[in-house]
Amino acid sequence: MRKPPAIVDLHADAFLEDWEDYSADELMLESIDFLRSNLDAAIYWEMNEIKFIHGKGKGTLKKMIFKELQDYKESGSIDRYYTSYQNEDVVVVVIGI
């Protein structure tokens, strides 16, 4: 498993070459899968924290991300998460205490 970067962009055009071929719903699911794979890798590599850029828009992706992170928190996989103080388009995930 490859160590993820400290900041991960969840915009589809940042990680999918053919993103134009996807529907909006498919892009959301791809972004959540990308979040999971990077977060799982960050947990594996025992990183202190990882940041995810979700952007502005209508807030649909942000809601899905926060729901996913709540599941990780409830399972004990992460300590906490919060909107970045410097940029509200970024969520900071604290993995260890």
Tell which phi-psi region holds residue 88, choosing left (phi > 0), alpha (psi between -120 and 50) or beta.
alpha
Measured CA distances, 32 to 38, 79, 92 (Å): 10, 19, 15
Q: Which residues, at least 6 apart from 88, have a Cβ–Cβ distance to it below 8 Å?
A: none
The string of pLDDT tens digits covering residues 23-34 is 999 999 999 999
Residue 90's SS3 state is: strand
DSSP state of 91: E
CA 22 to chain centroid, in Å, comes to: 19
- pLDDT, residue 57, reads 67
Q: Which residues of the chain have pLDDT under 50?
A: none
